[in-house]
Amino acid sequence: MLSEIKQIPYTDAAEVFCPFYLPGTAAQTEFERAGYVQEEHFLTGTGELYGPGGGRPRLLRGGLPFVTRALVARPRRPEDFSGVVHLAGIHPFLGGVQWEWISELVLSTGDAYVAVGTGTDALSRGRSTPDHPVSSTAVARWFNSDRYAQLLWPQDDGIRWTVFSDVAALLRNPDRTLLRDLTIARVYASGWSFLGSFMRTFINEGFHDMLRSPGGGPLIDGYLIGISSPWQGGGYLEINSEEPPAPVGDPRRRLRAIDVPVIEFLSQGEGERNIGPQAPDLDEGTGRHRLYEVAGTTHTDLGVPVQRTNLLQLAERGHPYARADRKPHYGISDVPLRRLFSATMENLDRWVVRGEAPPPGARLEFDSALEVARDELGNPRGGVRSVQVDVPLARYGRAPAEHAADNDSHFLPMYRVPLNRDQLARLYPGGRAEYLDRAGKVVDRMVSEHWLRSNDVADYRAAVSEAAEHAFAAAG
């Protein structure tokens, strides 16, 4: 239960750990041009610890004290607020707020974003050292010991479920002290990787059903589970530190039906292993659900370069886990995963508000060896499609043998290997003009099928045109 919410002032965004932007950057300009402000709050209270109870959590004990942080992005003027709040956790490893996934959507809609600290995990604790911690709370204190000295988290991360719920309940309280001047209509929860697995476990262990608003309704209006598959080891979290997580294949991992819609949004990297039984697509009523697997992407792809502020901050101070990655020979995927996600969140809101079901589930295709089926260029078949894979200028997959060292990286990066002159000539005899004509039709399809928001169309067309100009110029 939350007992105090206190805004912590600052004079420069660089004082905040993992801020939404760093001073003097294009991200700051974009943030301020949109009329947004950043706030940091400390949340004090006591948490409850639960164990599995066959679909309804079983209370073990309460009264576990915590002080955690919440980072807020919101319109400066209340009249510019859309009514939608996106609620997320803070990643346990290096304290990332995952703003890069959702910034484009939030800043263009008037939505608000709240990232709340929900503890750490055994892996992050195990990799921490006194000199260079990596777990969320400890790394914030390492970064700025004065500002974050108050942060407190128990050894058992099992209080994370009620801490997250308390913040969701706070947002539903008309007397709230967080976002106090905003009129909130809907709250959506989303998370990526570990935090996507958090959402699945929150639902499946019964916390969504148990923790309700004063009127009995849900605290969360809809969920998006990002890049987390129930058929991978990390796709499900332990309910407390003493209880092992449900192993791969355990029925507890299969998404349960709840009273709000849930969308699972996977990259190809997770989809390649997501081959067991799944919750069915359902348009109406209890158990509304979609499962999407985005072709040509993997765990770390967004389709655009992003600036992860926590890594930049830690690198400036010599933290060994923030070393710059070795630059690969080939570029990473330019499939517009972030824009596809923005459209999917817009579809989720339309589903909740108007009852309009989103596009049908889109799954990758598999061959007889249970590997992702590929076309003659080596690109994946099936899944959520885009210009990049339907009218390709490149092959999306592992690096060629002569650059095999590029493949030695976490989460199997999906490299973009440009097509050569002969391949382009064979695919597009009419050259760049033919390519752009065909690509334009795919963009039109993406818009009509709600895979691309209308306010993203111009920028996406420009990116496609720029890629074509580069590809055909390089091919001679």
Residues 44-53: tens digit of each pLDDT: 999 999 999 8
Mean pLDDT check: name the lowest of 154-163, 315-324, 458-467.
315-324
> For the residues 82-90, what does the mean pLDDT come to?
98
Across the range 397-402, mean pLDDT stands at 64
> What pLDDT score does 105 carry?
97
DSSP designation for 148: T
Question: What pLDDT, in 10s, does the model give residues 433-454?
Answer: 999 999 999 999 999 999 999 9
Task: For residue 266, give the nearest of 411, 376, 415, 397 by alpha carbon.
Answer: 411
Percent pLDDT > 70 in the chain is 95
pLDDT at residue 48, rounded to an integer: 97
Least confident of 34-43, 44-53, 402-411, 439-448: 402-411
- Strand order from edge to edge, sheet including 394-397: 331-332, 415-418, 394-397
* Residues with Cβ within 8 Å of residue 145, at least 6 apart in sequence: none
Confidence of residue 302 (pLDDT cuts 50, 70, 90): confident
Average pLDDT value for residue range 157-180: 93
Calculate the alpha carbon distances from 462 to 102, 175, 226, 475 in Å.
21, 46, 27, 20
Domain ranges for the chain: 2-260
Kindly tell me if the per-residue pLDDT of 294 is higher than 90.
yes
Please provide the average confidence, as pLDDT, over all residues in the chain.
92
Q: Is the pLDDT of residue 410 over 50?
A: no
Cα dist from 379 to 192, 234, 364, 389, 393, whole Å: 25, 26, 11, 7, 11
- The CA-atom distances, in angstroms, between 46 and each of 73, 139, 166 are 25, 22, 10
Give pLDDT, residue 415.
Answer: 80
